[in-house]
Amino acid sequence: MLFSSMFFLWVFLPIVLAGAFLLRKTKLVNVFLVLASLLFYAWGEPVNVLLMLASVLINYLAGVLLHRFDDADGRRRLVLTVDIVLNLALLCWFKYLGLLAEGLNALLKLFGAGPVAVPQIPLPIGISFFTFQAMSYVIDVYRRKVEPQRKLLNVALYISFFPQLIAGPIVRYREINDQIEQRSVSADDFATGARRFIYGLGKKVLIANVMAQGADALFALKVSNVTGGMAWLAAILYTFQIYYDFSGYSDMAIGLGRMFGFHFSENFNYPYISLSIREFWRRWHISLSTWFKEYVYIPLGGNRKGTGRTYLNLLIVFALTGIWHGAGVTFLLWGLYHGALSILERLGLDRLLKKLGPFAFLYAFVAAVFGWVLFRVEDVNTALQWMGHMLTPWAFTQTSCHMVDIITPQICALLPAAALGMGPLRLLADRLGLTERWRFSWPEVLYCAGLLFVCIATLTSASYNPFIYFRF
């Protein structure tokens, strides 16, 4: 079920809000939210609810066992190991089994052996998100950062709560454990959440969906029919699409959580105004970056074991970040690409970037745009061809494509708005002291009402409403 679907906006959300309000002072409110979340997840593929319930049960039992055992005979470490293996086994079975089969076939081919069948297993929506979220709970219990939750219902709500279930942000249990037991929703909380949800809906419906139409049309062309300029335009359109699509979803998730009394951490902080790739990753998908830093990078040694080990740890983390996004070589290369740039900046490029001042933005933005090509295309060969067109645009100037059939007036009109909305407008408002004056002012209330009306009107007449991160 999409947040930007008419059924969610007109039926599901009003009913769940009303139910949560009526039950807010009873112990049944969490039961109600768990049932609503399971219904939300089962809307597309009902059978996947069994996977969700299995994840809840496995991680709940692991937390209970960790509380009962001590470190004397290593049983706590065994419980943690088994839990992580089970979580990763579920993730690998549904997400990476096909990739592993393809790798095995490539190896068998070297020895002249016949290939094995590549399984086609439907990917459960959001499995990467709720698996990482569940593992963080068990790891934190093992580290004694949080007390294990005795109530199965509370663990179920933590893992399955519908606002952040499908595409994050990845919430750590210690951030909301108190809110699961005790929370309240003031008028200010509800208004703040509704405001955030409307802004996210506008990002998704009015900008991301429009950018997607142009990006999809250009990337669908044969590379031989794409000029250098068209290749850059496609990459820039996709750069805006994925930002407004994913950050819009995060805004909606954070806003929905606030409307139910939950305070989720920020997931985006205008990443495209970064002055380096290292800064980009402090602003982009913050919850994922934080997860890998806390549960992978630091346990590997972080930057405490020498320069060479630090760089190796970075490459491992970025490789895993790429693979987390998708079971393909292009995703792995995308992760390694960002890892390599991060290492280059540590080796001295950052000193040059500091001398460039604000102009370093061009480096970081272009580097991000270039990297998104690997993220968007389906195979390495196509990615290399596309990048070749971007690196030498003067060598590719012929096309039989009519750009007026692809780049509509709506796209042209929204491109400047997308560029301003990725950070410059907010920076200007902050500098002029207008940000807080705008917040909940009558002009903003009227703006949000109009924005919601336009979004609903657009959804009523539009059939194109994809969401990128559902496939991760």
- Catalytic residue set: 325
Q: How far apart are CA 470 and CA 377, in angstroms?
A: 17
Q: Which two tokens stand for residue 172?
A: 């750590």
352/314 Cα distance (integer angstroms): 21
Beta strands in 229-313 (DSSP E): none
What per-residue string of b and e applies to 359-384 under the rule 16 or more CB within 10 Å gives b? ebbebbbebbbbbbbbbbbeeeebbe
Distance CA 161, CA 164 (A): 6
Nearest CA among 299, 321, 322, 302 for reference residue 313: 302
Quickly count: other Cβ atoms within 10 Å of residue 427's Cβ: 12
Q: Which amino acid is at 68?
A: R
DSSP label at 327?
S
CB 349 within 8 A of CB 262: no
Residue 264 near residue 164, CB atoms below 8 Å: yes
Would you state the structure tokens that stand for residue 434, as one six-digit string? 């207008």
C-alpha span between 399 and 234 (Å, rounded): 15
Asked if 370 and 235 count as a contact pair (C-beta separation under 8 A), the reply is yes
Give, rounded to a whole angstrom, the gap between the first and last alpha carbons of the chain. Answer: 15
Q: Are 267 and 169 in contact (CB under 8 A)?
A: yes
| Segment holding 117, helix H or strand E | none
Q: Sign of dihedral through CA atoms 119, 124, 125, 130?
A: negative
Cβ(390)–Cβ(396) under 8 Å? Answer: no
In this structure, is the dihedral angle defined by the CA atoms of residues 234, 236, 237 and 243, taken in order, positive or negative? positive
Q: Alpha-carbon distance 199 to 354, whole Å?
A: 33
In 229-348, where do the E strands start and end? none
Task: Say how many C-beta atoms besides its own lie within 10 A of residue 446's C-beta.
Answer: 10
Burial 230-255 (b: 16+ CB within 10 A, else e): bbbbbbbbbbbbbbbbbbbbbbbbbb
Integer Cα distance of 246 and 251 in angstroms: 9
CA 453 vs. chain centroid, Å, equals 27
